């Protein structure tokens, strides 16, 4: 009989995945297994990580196995042939949904499919709320398949929010046909409403034919154009497209392999100039690196979109991002939350309206699936009574499963800049999910802040709208009020 030093003959992997692995082992594996005496300590095969990748038409694929010999010391008996146990164990593990079973579910006011894939596929949701009109504008890319290279144009559905029934009535789908450059496909809808002028901006990128992002990264030659259309009548009509690339990107284009804006809603600040902020990211070529690396940044306008200033890059690998304005008393900052390829989100803040971001932090609680995923962030006045001016809190939506894009969760931050200040997630939608976009919609029927969220579901087969209140998502916030 072989004696092991630990109650479990595995070493704890570093980080949240290791904690999760140990918890599962302690729950599912037996404590005592008989084995023949041996002079050698047996080799035990352990998965190198819990993270896996869901491929189209397949289940979870675990990336690697590592071997480790158990050290002797305790009274627990270790089996000689654990290798056979692992195969069955991991097959069973792939069917277990840790996050969904642990999270509280959020009751909602409404859940409705807005875009349904069939002959055409709809991806990359963007949502804009017009408070005076009680109107929602839901945008998406229309594609001929799920592939990015098969995107065609941007479509729109208008929703009317009825405050008496607390329901949104969605109207027929239409194409934003003006949001196109000839010979290009339109991608990454990024809407913004300028309350001061009543103008809606719809920013997007235009890419020639079926030129892929991969091709641009390989050749290090940018083919992407930055464009906008505008609407003076709440999205009922649109201007011809304006190509902003040469005036906004200018000479930086020669160092960029490719770039994109958003996707999802942009931001208008409450500063004296009511500045407009458009989040973006670029892959930049570096002489010392084999491949271009991505960094997030913002485009800022202080004159209602007539001219734009390009801000500095966030100093971490960051991709698709969104921004929100937060206030704590008299202090006002622009908060950025970005996708990363390193299994956790990146956050940063700017004290100069989004031009420069400091205090860049990894947020381990906001997990990323393999290769990351876009997420949405929005700020709103806190429900705390008596704070004047009111503090602003943050709400964030994103897949919560570190192994795959599934189980859309909503997180709350009562605005404190540290990475540990995010709440545990509440489950907004179980199962397959991906990109999402949030909007704050004022006060809900229970007196707490109201939100709308547009998200991808069912393996990109549909885009769904869900509406809920802060009290529904986080009831504990209201227990003592």
Enumerate the active-site residues.
Answer: 148, 435, 456
> What three-state secondary structure class fits 286?
coil
> What three-state secondary structure class fits 95?
coil
The Cα–Cα gap between 278 and 192 comes to: 8
Query: What is the H or E stretch that residue 213 is in?
Result: helix 213-219
> What three-state secondary structure class fits 26?
helix
Q: What residues contact 436, with CB distance under 8 A and at least 6 apart? A: 125, 264, 374, 375, 376, 397, 398, 408, 453, 454, 455, 456
The Cα–Cα gap between 126 and 142 comes to: 13
The Cα–Cα gap between 276 and 305 comes to: 7
Residues of the chain by 3-state class (helix, strand, coil), percent to 5: 15, 45, 45
Peptide bond into 351 cis (omega under 30): no
Three-state helix/strand/coil letters over 109-125: CEEEEEEECCCCEEEEE
Dihedrals φ, ψ of 301, to 5°? -125, 130
Residue with tokens 């930055």: 226
Q: What residues contact 69, with CB distance under 8 A and at least 6 apart? A: 41, 42, 43, 44
Closest CA to 368 of 324, 333, 316, 414: 316
Please count the CA atoms within 13 angstroms of the CA of 417 that sit on its side-chain side: 19
Does the CA dihedral 12-17-21-24 come out positive or negative?
A: positive
């Amino acid at each position: 009989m072989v004696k092991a030093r630990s109650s479990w003959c595995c070493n704890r992997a570093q980080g949240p995945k290791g904690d999760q692995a140990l918890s599962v082992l302690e729950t599912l594996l037996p404590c005592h297994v008989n084995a023949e005496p041996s002079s050698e300590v047996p080799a035990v095969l352990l998965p190198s990580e819990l993270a896996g990748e869901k491929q189209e038409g397949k289940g979870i694929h675990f990336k690697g196995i590592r071997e480790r010999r158990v050290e002797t010391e305790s009274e627990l008996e270790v089996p000689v042939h654990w290798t056979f146990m692992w195969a069955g164990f991991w097959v069973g593990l792939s069917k277990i949904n840790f996050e969904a079973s642990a999270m509280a579910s959020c009751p909602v006011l409404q859940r409705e499919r807005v875009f349904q894939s069939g002959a055409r596929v709809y991806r990359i949701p963007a949502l804009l709320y017009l408070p005076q009109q009680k109107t929602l504008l839901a945008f998406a890319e229309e594609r001929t398949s799920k592939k990015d290279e098969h995107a065609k144009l941007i479509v729109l559905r208008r929703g009317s929010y009825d405050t008496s029934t607390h329901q949104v009535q969605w109207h027929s789908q239409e194409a934003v046909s003006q949001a196109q450059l000839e010979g290009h496909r339109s991608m990454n809808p990024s809407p913004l409403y300028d309350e001061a002028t009543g103008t809606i901006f719809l920013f997007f990128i235009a890419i020639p034919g079926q030129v892929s992002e991969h091709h641009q990264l390989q050749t290090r030659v940018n083919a992407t154009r930055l464009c906008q259309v505008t609407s003076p009548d709440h999205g009922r009509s649109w201007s011809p497209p304006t190509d902003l690339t040469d005036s906004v990107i200018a000479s930086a284009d020669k160092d960029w392999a490719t770039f994109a804006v958003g996707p999802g809603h942009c931001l208008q600040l409450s500063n004296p100039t009511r500045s407009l902020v458009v989040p973006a990211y670029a892959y930049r070529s570096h002489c010392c690196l084999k491949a271009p690396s991505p960094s997030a940044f913002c485009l800022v306008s202080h004159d209602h979109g007539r001219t734009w200033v390009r801000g500095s890059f966030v100093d971490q690998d960051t991709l698709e991002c969104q921004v929100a304005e937060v206030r704590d008393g008299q202090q006002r900052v622009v908060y950025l939350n970005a996708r990363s390829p390193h299994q956790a989100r990146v956050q940063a803040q700017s004290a100069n309206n989004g031009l420069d971001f400091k205090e860049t932090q990894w947020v381990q609680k906001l997990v990323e699936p393999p290769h990351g995923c876009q997420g949405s962030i929005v700020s709103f006045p806190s429900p705390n009574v008596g704070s004047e001016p009111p503090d602003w809190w943050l709400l964030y939506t994103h897949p919560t499963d570190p192994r795959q894009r599934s189980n859309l969760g909503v997180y709350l931050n009562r605005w404190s800049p540290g990475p540990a200040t995010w709440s545990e997630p509440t489950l907004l939608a179980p199962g397959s999910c991906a990109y999402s976009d949030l909007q704050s919609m004022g006060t809900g029927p229970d007196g707490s802040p109201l939100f709308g969220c547009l998200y991808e579901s069912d393996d990109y087969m549909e885009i769904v709208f869900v509406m809920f209140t802060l009290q529904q998502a986080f009831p504990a916030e209201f227990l003592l009020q």
